[in-house]
Amino acid sequence: MGDILKIDLGGGTHSYGQVADEPLIVFFNGAFTEALPPGQAIQLPVLFRLWVHNDAVKKGIWEVVGNLPLAPADAVEPYFFRQDAITGALSLYHSSFANTGWEHPASATDCDGLECAAVWDAEQVEDRLRDHYAGRPNKWFESLRMDKRALS
């Protein structure tokens, strides 16, 4: 917890993230060509928080460049949404409740602006970051969006 990650985006640019409660990683907004001090990197605005497969850190795909305490807001597990693939029913999901997870039926309004409860691969996150900085839609994010047509 607290590891600061340098995420290579190719083309000489990189971004930063910080490990929260595994597998949650906080991603900061900014693409850089020069290294930032770890303390400055974690002061950047948060872009998104995702669950990421631990290979990104354990296998060294993303370089650990420091370790600092998480900001209080980043230490709190966010809510995610789930959508049943058959019924379209939505629920709010939070994994930290008594280490067992908590899930509760939800409306589309409850889920607006939340990330889908999914574990991302490092390559998918890198694609999403590159697409964000290029101002284009990301296929991985789009595939996990709430399907409002399935709601009834």
CA atoms within 13 A on the CB side of 141: 17
The model's pLDDT over 68-85, given as tens digits with 9 standing for 90+, comes to: 999 999 988 899 999 998
The predicted model scores a pTM of 0.92
> What is the residue-averaged pLDDT of the chain?
92
User: Does pLDDT of 27 surpass 70?
Assistant: yes
What is the domain count for the chain?
Answer: 1
25 with 45: CB under 8 angstroms? no
pLDDT of residue 97: 46
Domain extent at residue 64: 3-150
Which is more confident, 100 or 97? 100
The model's pLDDT over 40-62, given as tens digits with 9 standing for 90+, comes to: 999 999 999 999 999 999 999 99
User: Does pLDDT of 152 surpass 60?
Assistant: no
Q: What is d(CA 80, CA 85) in angstroms, rounded to the nearest whole number?
A: 16
